[in-house]
Amino acid sequence: MRMPKPRGALSEWLVARLAAASPEASRGPAPAADSRDDEAIALWTLHELSYRGFEDASDRGEREPEVLVVRHLLEDALEDRLRSRWADEAGSADPAPAADDVPAALEALVAADDGPSLADHVRRHADVDQVLEMLRQRSVYQLKEADPTTWVVPRLPTRAKAALMELQFDEYGNGDPNRLHAHLFARGLESVGLRSEYGAYVDDALPETLELNNSLTMFGLHRRLRGAAMGHLAAFEMTSSIPARKIAQGLGRLGLDGAMVGYYDEHVEADAIHEQVAAHDICGTLAEDEPEQAAEILFGAFTCLDLESRVAGALFSAWGVDA
């Protein structure tokens, strides 16, 4: 994968700074971002150095001080934005439940979510172009599905660690590379005529898509955000089984049968099981063993629901669809 196209002064500086062909480029201070879009693609690029890197960037960029300063500033701004949204949602109430109430608090948070549903639209109304655009947006994460969460494994206490490994083993195909969920998604993209290589559609990614990806990676990269990472995971697993069935039905309605339907069918059953593991065995035990993480778990769960809603809203706006 090559570095993405810049979207402003900051990402242009960063791409030049990381380019393997010009190691002395852009040694001056990083400019301010021109827009939220510029910020988002710059942070995505910085995070990607910790995944698979880029053909046209030096791997040394991951640890260079000037680059790390930019990453930290962008992550601070993103975290502040996410916590401000959670504070607005929580209001004046204390968002931290008792440790043994965390699974119930997660269920209540999910039940109260009334964001726009891409799955409902795909099931009943979406046309082929809209479904393909949704898949292009989702590919930015789905082609590395589960990887951000794996970073959290060594940071968890015993019970939560064991439960997360159980869930992740399933995400990685139970040892079968052909059942790896990211690989299943790649095969699904090919079956509907889309590109399946890692990062193929990042230049088409909406800022909301990038913010969702950046948040999940940021949670995974920082030990202090382990509770948020697990809350995000729980909310995702608790809200994905039924939508996966609806999306599979929508794909069938449009004649997009094959591997992509198989991917979503896989998640109908798997995520129904993962829901209980994530809410009780991971988040529940984490809160019991580390009670200070209870509030962080709910923050992460809210962030997952909020960011998914923002992506759906952005797509509906682009399509002229009422949410």
Q: At a CB cut-off of 8 Å and minimum separation 6, what does 95 contact?
A: 86, 295, 298, 299
C-alpha 97/C-alpha 47 separation (Å) is 32
CB atoms within 10 A of CB 268: 17
Partners of residue 57 on adjacent β-strands: 19
Residues 6+ apart with CB under 8 A from 273: 170
Q: What rounded mean pLDDT belongs to the chain?
A: 94
> Residue 92, class by beta-carbon neighbours within 10 Å (0-12 exposed, 13-18 middle, 19+ buried)?
exposed
pLDDT digits (tens, 9 = 90+) for 188-224: 999 999 999 999 999 999 999 999 999 999 999 999 9
Share of the chain above pLDDT 70, in %: 96
pLDDT for position 97: 84
Predicted confidence at residue 270, as pLDDT, reads 72
Mean pLDDT of 264-274: 83
Query: Which residues of the chain form CATH 1.20.910.10?
Result: 97-319
Residue 20 has pLDDT above 90, yes or no: no
User: What is the pLDDT at residue 28?
Assistant: 75
User: What torsion, rounded to 10 degrees, do the Cα atoms 26, 49, 299, 86 define?
Assistant: 30
pLDDT of res. 92: 47
For residue 94, pLDDT beyond 90: no
- Mean pLDDT confidence for 120-124: 97
Give 19's strand partners: 57
Q: What is the mean pLDDT of residues 40-51?
A: 98
**Interval 46-62: pLDDT, tens:** 999 999 999 999 899 99
What per-residue string of b and e applies to 55-66 under the rule 16 or more CB within 10 Å gives b? eebbeebbeeee
pLDDT at 166 over 70: yes
How does residue 99 score in pLDDT terms, banded at 50, 70 and 90?
Answer: confident
**Looking at residue 19, what DSSP letter applies?**
B
**From residue 116, how far is each of 86, 231, 256, 305, 313 by CA, in Å?**
18, 21, 23, 10, 7
Mean pLDDT of 129-136: 98
Question: pLDDT tens digit string along 216-250?
Answer: 999 999 999 999 999 999 999 999 999 999 999 99
At the fourth CATH level, the homologous superfamily of domain 97-319 is: Heme oxygenase-like (1.20.910.10)
Q: Is the pLDDT of residue 95 over 90?
A: no
Question: Which helix (H) or strand (E) covers residue 63, if one does?
Answer: none
Cα angle 103, 106, 107 (rounded to 5 degrees) comes to: 90
Instruction: Give me the pLDDT at residue 27, please.
Output: 63
Residue 7 CA: distances (Å) to CA of 14, 217, 227, 279:
11, 20, 32, 38
